[in-house]
Amino acid sequence: MGALSDVALFALGRRHGPAVLARWPQLGAYRDRLNQGLARWGAGMVVGVRFMYGLRIAGPILLGTTRLPWQRFVAFNALGAAVWGVAVAGAGWLFGHAAERALHGIEHAEHWAGLALLVVMLAAALWHWRRRRAQRRVDSTGG
């Protein structure tokens, strides 16, 4: 879905780029850096924009203001989305296994924690019930 929204943002930049840059002039500095990156790395810069902090939304818009052809943007944007997806899923898998190893043997602790929570809740309910009962006695005796 992100790749499709990037294409829409690219189209926004292509059609309304000057208005966007007039509305947010600070994006001009990013546009200059993107142009330098495109000159140096070509359309591979499209893949890199997905990983650049702060350019997740503005990047495709700014790329739309350049002379980058649609076809190259769509192709490299799809490649960037695939790389991003594999990287995020891989990191989740890796850290999931690391967490599983680090927390090995703790699965029995959840039962004890649940039992302790149940005991605390019952004690609090009993304390609250006794307090209300004592308060009713005081109210009914007028003291």
Instruction: Transcribe 4-46 into DSSP letters.
Output: HHHHHHHHHHHHHHHHHHHH-TTHHHHHHHHHHHHHHHTTHHH
The answer on 94 and 24 residing in a single domain is yes
Domain that holds residue 70: 2-100
Residues 71-99: tens digit of each pLDDT: 999 999 999 999 999 999 999 999 988 88
Q: What is the total count of domains within the chain? A: 2
* Domain-located, residue 22: yes
pTM exceeding 0.85? no
* Domain-located, residue 105: no
* Domain-located, residue 77: yes
The answer on 89 and 60 residing in a single domain is yes
